Amino acid sequence: MSRDKVNLAQKLSLFGEQWSPKIVGELNGQHVRLVKLFGEFVWHHHDDEDELFLVVKGRFRMEYRDGEEWIEEGEFVVVPRGVEHRPVAEEEAHVMLFEPASTLNTGNVRDGLTQEVLDRI
């Protein structure tokens, strides 16, 4: 396990694609991932994993079947397992995710946005 510190801006500068999480750290069976959001993601849920979304830059809206909330820069939200959700970003947002290493980005859905294998940067 590396003890190197991670500079989020530097890591975010290494990729441009959106909805493609990158692994930047690991701890206790969890991944620390960075992702760029823009547009609408797919409605999905995770049967066994909670997810934490921390906004590093910008803002996005987390939609739920019974409402929505804006997550602003410097804020985070935990989406509990089993809760159907969809991130939506009207402008590009940079987000750090904390979730179990087993978490598939599209949860119970398989589509063109599904990332089976994530890059480490």
pLDDT in tens, 80-110: 999 999 999 999 999 999 998 888 777 777 7
Of 115, 104, 50, nearest to 77 by C-alpha is 50
Domains and CATH numbers, the chain: 8-112 (2.60.120.10)
Indicate whether 76 pLDDT > 60: yes
CA 103 distance to own-chain centroid: 10
Whether this prediction's pTM lies above 0.95 is answered by no
pLDDT tier at 2, thresholds 50, 70, 90: low
